[in-house]
Chain A
């Protein structure tokens, strides 16, 4: 998806707002950052996305800042209360404050998503880099393996891995990471092939640079850029998949606050106390939306600089 969007952006080319050209070589990096900040401030949706990202990361690092209460504290006289100033997201059947639980669940959910993407990014990029740089029979073999990985339903792989490692949010992350390896490998390989055909790589050959130097200095940095943009968006998808697998009961056991699990637990009360599922669900939606938005802007920004 991102690849085609990139192509569309390239085709659009000069129509989009141009990146501020660096005045002097030394100033380039700083100017680019400034330009990026201005871009962000000018785009309301992007600004909101970054603000939300800062909020959830803060919630993950220091949950007590937003919700000082104990997420597991039960209360007999505050059961199934609707959302109000006292309990922003209402309370569940045990009288636990749903907002506190959502805030405290942020850490596990985000942690899992980031771990999942890191695993897929590192392993997939390595496979893709080797395949794209070495070519020949190794490339064919690796790409067939990747095809096979794409052909096996990810649910079956996830289930097998999770039943081997035991239930748990981080184990879900490992499973998702392994599943996303194939896509990362494909993307990395195609980027390496694209970059390898570029003029500056050719120039590097004539400049007499060695193979390893050319690979590390030119091919890897240029190929990883769009892979990283894709990885950012993958964090959004990973948040969704982590929540989905938790929803199916493969994640951490019940008292643990985790986004997908909160939605699953509220499911019993969907007819009358719909907010128990819906509000944590909305937090998931907004987070994914924000991450996608940021990922897209990175992708676009990158294309603008190159084109």
Chain B
């Protein structure tokens, strides 16, 4: 019975994931299609003299852009299902290859940023609960709202100014060391940490008034044990939900960080591909993002019952 329910749940989730990824792919395809201009225009840009119209038409035929839109879409979709997104129109090599060349750098940045955000956010919330000094508590409580109000590019600029120019610890442009990566990820971690801490502080406060905390206290557990081992676990559920959306924000936020720190990554690639209408590369980027989105949400759902034993997965 239980196994049947789980199977039903898995099938349901897979179907849902497939619909979302397909929808993202299709949406991006038609959005880019209806936007005026195409890759042929981008490739022949700056061409003067001769018959520009003729040139454009030739390019379109070469790239297959003169075919009916539904044929183009069908080709793109059937290729994508098999993992073949076609060649990048500008670089003339597989779009998947182009994308995954730049992707690891961005992924590193985003995940380190997320990890830092979680560490900073959780640490801040716990310290807020544990501190006895009123003034320190007041000061710390005011930090998260400030953190989420800071524009990420400004944080990045200040970090460059301080760490690269003042202290000279890293290169201001495209630093490849781990310290460079750490500083860059800190710039996206600030806002994320603020969000996590705001959520967690509110939840901790709620959790600390619960009866089971009274029980834990009456057992004579230390304040630290009560907050960290008992309240934190129950307060972290909404934070786990927020992580799902935060990952998306992180990957989006890397564009600004990559620009300011002159780091390699998909930020520049995505901007150039959309502007140049490099459909295959854009479709790879959208599909990968959608896959990450559904995977993260799935993982978040799987984490719920682990954190809170009262929640069970159901194949409704």
Dominant SS among interface residues on chain A = helix
- The residue from A156, A243, A248, A270 contacting B282, defined by CB atoms under 8 A apart: A156
Residues of B within 8 Å of A271, CB to CB, are 161, 165, 172
Complex Cα gap A161–B161 (Å)? 33
Complex Cα gap A185–B224 (Å)? 41
- The residue from B21, B149, B274 contacting A156, defined by CB atoms under 8 A apart: B274
B143-163 contact mask (Cβ, 8 Å, vs A): 1 or 0: 001101111111001101100
Given the known interface contacts A148-B24, A153-B252, A271-B165, the answer about A281 and B206 at a Cβ–Cβ threshold of 8 Å is no
Residues of A within 8 Å of B32, CB to CB, are 160
Residues of B within 8 Å of A5, CB to CB, are 198-199, 202
Residue of B nearest to A242 (CB): B151
Instruction: State whether the Cβ of A244 lies closer than 8 Å to any Cβ in chain B.
Output: yes
**B154 contacts A277, C-beta separation under 8 Å:** yes
**A152 contacts B286, C-beta separation under 8 Å:** yes
**A156 contacts B285, C-beta separation under 8 Å:** yes
Instruction: State whether the Cβ of B236 lies closer than 8 Å to any Cβ in chain A.
Output: no
B272-310 contact mask (Cβ, 8 Å, vs A): 1 or 0: 001100000010011001100110000000000000000
**A289 contacts B146, C-beta separation under 8 Å:** yes
Given the known interface contacts A152-B290, A153-B252, A159-B271, the answer about A144 and B20 at a Cβ–Cβ threshold of 8 Å is yes
Given the known interface contacts A144-B23, A153-B252, A293-B145, the answer about A248 and B271 at a Cβ–Cβ threshold of 8 Å is yes
- The residue from B31, B198, B294 contacting A157, defined by CB atoms under 8 A apart: B31
Residues of A within 8 Å of B20, CB to CB, are 144, 147-148, 151
Complex Cα gap A271–B158 (Å)? 10
Taking the closest CB of chain A, its distance from the CB of B266, in whole angstroms, is 10
Q: Which of B149-189 contact A (CB under 8 A)?
A: 149-154, 157-158, 160-161, 165, 172
Q: Which of A112-158 contact B (CB under 8 A)?
A: 144-145, 147-157
Instruction: State whether the Cβ of B256 lies closer than 8 Å to any Cβ in chain A.
Output: yes
**B28 contacts A156, C-beta separation under 8 Å:** yes
Residues of B within 8 Å of A152, CB to CB, are 24, 27-28, 286, 289-290
**A151 contacts B149, C-beta separation under 8 Å:** no
Complex Cα gap A67–B238 (Å)? 46
Instruction: State whether the Cβ of A307 lies closer than 8 Å to any Cβ in chain B.
Output: no
Complex Cα gap A62–B256 (Å)? 32
Instruction: State whether the Cβ of A285 lies closer than 8 Å to any Cβ in chain B.
Output: yes
- The residue from B172, B289, B294 contacting A153, defined by CB atoms under 8 A apart: B289
- The residue from B19, B35, B36, B149 contacting A288, defined by CB atoms under 8 A apart: B149
Instruction: State whether the Cβ of A50 lies closer than 8 Å to any Cβ in chain B.
Output: no
Given the known interface contacts A12-B206, A274-B161, the answer about A285 and B274 at a Cβ–Cβ threshold of 8 Å is no
Residues of B within 8 Å of A145, CB to CB, are 23
Residue of A nearest to B252 (CB): A155
Given the known interface contacts A160-B35, A248-B256, A267-B157, the answer about A11 and B151 at a Cβ–Cβ threshold of 8 Å is no
Dominant SS among interface residues on chain B = helix
Instruction: State whether the Cβ of B125 lies closer than 8 Å to any Cβ in chain A.
Output: no
Instruction: State whether the Cβ of A238 lies closer than 8 Å to any Cβ in chain B.
Output: no
- The residue from A12, A243, A278 contacting B158, defined by CB atoms under 8 A apart: A278
Complex Cα gap A163–B36 (Å)? 8
**A281 contacts B259, C-beta separation under 8 Å:** no
Complex Cα gap A293–B16 (Å)? 37
Residues of B within 8 Å of A284, CB to CB, are 151, 154
Given the known interface contacts A148-B24, A274-B161, the answer about A285 and B150 at a Cβ–Cβ threshold of 8 Å is yes
Complex Cα gap A4–B241 (Å)? 11
**A270 contacts B160, C-beta separation under 8 Å:** yes
**A236 contacts B289, C-beta separation under 8 Å:** no
Taking the closest CB of chain B, its distance from the CB of A266, in whole angstroms, is 8
**B23 contacts A11, C-beta separation under 8 Å:** no
10 smallest beta-carbon distances between A and B, as pairs: A148-B23, A288-B149, A159-B274, A164-B35, A281-B154, A151-B290, A151-B293, A289-B149, A8-B202, A271-B165
Pairs across A and B, CB under 8 Å, 24 listed: A1-B242, A8-B202, A8-B203, A144-B20, A145-B23, A148-B20, A149-B27, A151-B23, A151-B293, A152-B24, A153-B248, A155-B255, A156-B289, A159-B275, A243-B151, A248-B255, A248-B259, A260-B153, A264-B153, A267-B157, A278-B157, A281-B151, A292-B145, A292-B148
Known: A240-B152, A244-B151, A270-B157; 15 extra A-B contacts, CB below 8 A, are A8-B202, A147-B19, A153-B248, A153-B270, A153-B286, A160-B274, A163-B274, A247-B151, A248-B256, A248-B271, A271-B165, A278-B158, A281-B157, A285-B146, A289-B149
